[in-house]
């Protein structure tokens, strides 16, 4: 599932290639039209002749702003990729994969496609994000910008919850952008067990967590951008230290990395940690 680092890296790479470009045509795959939270025929007719004016990210959503000539009638294309959503910028004449959801043909002969093999993503075409995107107003601060709130504000926010640490980090109302994979990495770097209750965390551990979150996410963005062969469809996370490494040796203490979760059903994704150095 794409999380903050994958979407932030995508924004950095895709933004300059989309900025200012005109949409000449739009299509929706009728087999996957149900992923659009908007009438497909209106989506296909309203996007042409608009220019991409900005691309930005909020939590696990990627947002592209489009406007008519002169900047009028601004609209937002909001995509939450969920489990299997990916973007593709390709030659407009190339054949799209079978699981394409929509295609925007751009001036210059390219097409921006949204693909979703798992058919779980959510696509919104709206002038009012807060009104039309469920849960938008409940999103917490951006996880990679925790330092901007300051330690005292982080402590107050952190202490509102009673969750286990793993669940708390994945709670988008607490901080936006962290999911299963990066919560593993953050808790590993902070040396905290994922199943600990929030109430058991000592003040000095709160500070460690506060100081750990942004660097882990920023390092992941840098690792993705530094890989010239990075394929969003395959989502290479080989740079991770514990996530996806159940049964392997901990790079910090040499203990065996544990894995919990069946991976069967929503909310049951396998997660990893080290019992040797996470306390």
**What's the count of helices (H) and strands (E) in the chain, helices before strands?**
8, 10
What is the DSSP secondary structure assignment for residue 95, as one 8-state letter? P
What is the DSSP secondary structure assignment for residue 58, as one 8-state letter? E
Instruction: Using the CB atoms, write b or e for 96-117: b if 16+ within 10 Å.
Output: beebbbbbbbbeeebbbbbbbe
Q: Are 65 and 54 in contact (CB under 8 A)?
A: yes
Given 57, 58, 60, 245, the catalytic residue = 60
Q: Is 270 an active-site residue?
A: no
Q: Are 107 and 24 in contact (CB under 8 A)?
A: yes
Q: Is 266 an active-site residue?
A: no
Q: Is 2 an active-site residue?
A: yes
| Inter-helix orientation angle 180-190/203-226, to 10° | 130
Taking CA atoms, 147 is separated from 53, 69, 150, in Å, by 29, 39, 5
Tokens of 170: 């994945």
Taking CA atoms, 5 is separated from 10, 214, 218, 219, 235, in Å, by 8, 11, 7, 9, 11
Tokens of 66: 């489009």
Q: Is 3 an active-site residue?
A: yes
Given 95, 234, 264, 266, the catalytic residue = 264
Q: Are 224 and 230 in contact (CB under 8 A)?
A: yes
Q: Are 23 and 75 in contact (CB under 8 A)?
A: no
Residues annotated catalytic, as ranges: 2-3, 60, 264
């Amino acid at each position: 599932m794409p999380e903050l680092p994958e979407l932030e890296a995508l924004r950095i790479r895709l933004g300059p290639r989309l900025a200012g470009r005109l949409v000449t045509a739009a299509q929706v795959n009728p087999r996957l039209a149900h992923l659009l939270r908007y009438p497909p025929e209106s989506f296909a007719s309203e996007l042409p002749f608009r220019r991409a004016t900005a691309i930005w990210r909020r939590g696990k959503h990627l947002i592209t702003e489009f406007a008519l000539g002169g900047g009028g009638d601004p609209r937002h294309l909001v995509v939450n990729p969920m489990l299997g959503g990916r973007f593709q910028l390709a030659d407009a004449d190339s054949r799209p994969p079978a699981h394409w959801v929509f295609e925007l043909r751009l001036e210059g002969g390219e097409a921006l496609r949204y693909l979703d093999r798992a058919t779980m993503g959510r696509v919104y075409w709206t002038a009012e994000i807060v009104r039309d995107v469920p849960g938008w107003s409940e999103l917490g601060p951006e996880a990679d910008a925790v330092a901007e709130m300051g330690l005292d504000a982080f402590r107050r926010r952190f202490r509102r919850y009673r969750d286990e640490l793993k669940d708390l980090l994945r709670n988008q109302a607490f901080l936006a952008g962290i999911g299963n994979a990066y919560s593993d990495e953050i808790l590993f770097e902070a040396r905290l067990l994922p199943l600990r209750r929030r109430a058991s965390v000592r003040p000095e551990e709160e500070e460690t967590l506060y100081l750990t979150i942004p660097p882990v996410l920023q390092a992941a963005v840098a690792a993705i951008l530094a890989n010239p062969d990075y394929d969003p469809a395959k989502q290479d996370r080989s740079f991770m230290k514990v996530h996806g490494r159940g049964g392997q040796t901990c790079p910090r203490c040499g203990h065996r990395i544990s894995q919990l979760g069946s991976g069967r059903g929503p909310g049951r994704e396998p997660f990893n940690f080290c019992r040797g150095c996470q306390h």
